[in-house]
Chains A and B, each alone.
Chain A
């Protein structure tokens, strides 16, 4: 189990290698990539902020929960912080399991659950403004007419 929280560029090979073992016939690597559009807005770049000490711990817990649900899997999670340009990787989750089904399932589980409890926030800077995704002002940005 490997957890990385960093302001540096994430390296998919390093995280994938961490779960690539002789007993694992299936290895899945998911990349979350900064997208150039969101809800009709042209995105310029993103900024990620974390409560770092707790985020590290909560990422670890997501990995532990995945390992509890799919015993025997290997999992590595990397999350980037700070300013990310379009096309840069913000999240990497690599899972390894004897068979592909478990590797896919555990990877999808971890991707979904990171959004629930891990104290990391994303600020989207778009043409004409900025918004903390998930916040009240986010709702306002989605419906400027109201």
Chain B
């Protein structure tokens, strides 16, 4: 008897938000992305970089926030996380 493979590995949906020069290079302010379960921030950024060829240089120089907290590239994502691409900031005083 043939055994059916029913355990499809579930992926995750994450929301990527772009700001400032990253928003301009991506030509949009956000995108929903499918990533493998337990993917890291770095893996998600690789997917973003492939989807938006003008972005990789910006991504390398950006800080990343997940759900409004700064994280490192090895941070593990969860379903429905909001990932913000934060290019070098320049607010505040002249």
Which residues of A approach B to under 8 Å, CB–CB?
A: 30, 32-35, 38, 48-51, 53-55, 57, 79, 90-91, 111, 114-123, 132-137
Binds A, one of B4-12, B17-25, B32-40, B43-51: B17-25
Among B17, B20, B93, B94, which residue has its beta carbon within 8 angstroms of that of A135? B20
* Contacts of B72-94 to chain A: CB distance below 8 A: 84, 86-94
Is there a chain A Cβ closer than 8 Å to B16's Cβ?
no
Q: 16 additional contacts, CB 8 Å, given A51-B65, A51-B84, A91-B92? A: A32-B94, A38-B94, A49-B19, A53-B68, A54-B84, A55-B91, A91-B93, A115-B89, A115-B90, A118-B92, A119-B89, A120-B90, A121-B87, A123-B20, A132-B21, A134-B90
Minimum CB–CB distance from B87 to chain A (whole Å) comes to 6
Which of chain A's residues has its CB closest to B61's CB? Answer: A136
CA of A137 to CA of B25, assembled, Å:
12
Chain B at the A interface: SS class:
mixed
Q: Do residues A51 and B19 form an inter-chain contact, with CB atoms below 8 A?
A: yes
Q: Do residues A48 and B91 form an inter-chain contact, with CB atoms below 8 A?
A: yes
Chain B count of residues within 8 A CB distance of the other chain: 22
A-B contact count (CB 8 A): 90
Q: Do residues A34 and B94 form an inter-chain contact, with CB atoms below 8 A?
A: yes
Which residues of B approach A to under 8 Å, CB–CB?
A: 17, 19-21, 23-24, 57-58, 61, 65, 68, 70, 84, 86-94
What A residues does B23 contact at CB under 8 A?
49
CA of A71 to CA of B19, assembled, Å:
35
Q: Do residues A116 and B94 form an inter-chain contact, with CB atoms below 8 A?
A: no
**20 cross-chain CB contacts under 8 A:** A34-B94, A38-B94, A50-B91, A54-B65, A54-B68, A54-B84, A55-B91, A57-B68, A79-B92, A90-B92, A90-B93, A91-B93, A111-B93, A114-B91, A114-B92, A115-B89, A118-B92, A119-B65, A120-B91, A134-B90
What A residues does B70 contact at CB under 8 A?
117
Q: Do residues A121 and B94 form an inter-chain contact, with CB atoms below 8 A?
A: no
